[in-house]
Structure 1
């Protein structure tokens, strides 16, 4: 379901209760472009848990494949290099 930003502005967050009766997510359209997605807290928690599970699985795969270091200084240098690339 898509709602215009102006409607959210005028009706406030109470608008979402009504919209969530019809849809699990609400897309907020700003100046003709879909810009934000609003979901209820329970759905957010589910998605966040899945994201964390995936990160854990990736970390375990890296460990099994030997893609890790126990050298703290080398690890910190790598983090700083990655930060500088941003």
Structure 2
């Protein structure tokens, strides 16, 4: 469901409780463009858990393929600093 930012201004955040009982998510439209999404906290936690599961699976695939390198913390920091210097 899409609602306008003006509607949120008029009715306040209590509007979210009412609408989230009927819809899984709310899209807030600002000046004709979809800009924000409002989710129930439990649905948000589900999304985050899925996102973390996906990151874990991708990491495990990289490890299986040998797509990683082992280095000390000091080596890693030195590499990051060198990369930052290259970007400047």
Rounded to whole Å, the distance in 1 between the matches of 2:4 and 2:62 is 43
**TM-score normalised according to structure 2 size:** 0.83
Equivalent residue number for residue 81 of structure 1? 83
Equivalent residue number for residue 62 of structure 1? 62
Rounded to whole Å, the distance in 1 between the matches of 2:32 and 2:45 is 29
SS state at 1:62 partner: helix
Rounded to whole Å, the distance in 1 between the matches of 2:81 and 2:44 is 29
SS state at 2:67 partner: coil
Aligned length: 83
Task: Return 5+ residue gaps in structure 2 as ranges.
Answer: none
Rounded to whole Å, the distance in 2 between the matches of 1:80 and 1:39 is 40
Task: Return 5+ residue gaps in structure 1 as ranges.
Answer: none
Rounded to whole Å, the distance in 2 between the matches of 1:30 and 1:80 is 41
Relative to structure 1, the CA distance from residue 13 to residue 79 in structure 2 (aligned partners, 3 Å threshold; closer, same or farther) is farther
SS state at 1:26 partner: strand
- 1:26 aligned to 2:26? yes
Equivalent residue number for residue 51 of structure 2? 51
Cα deviation, residue 31, structure 1: 0.3
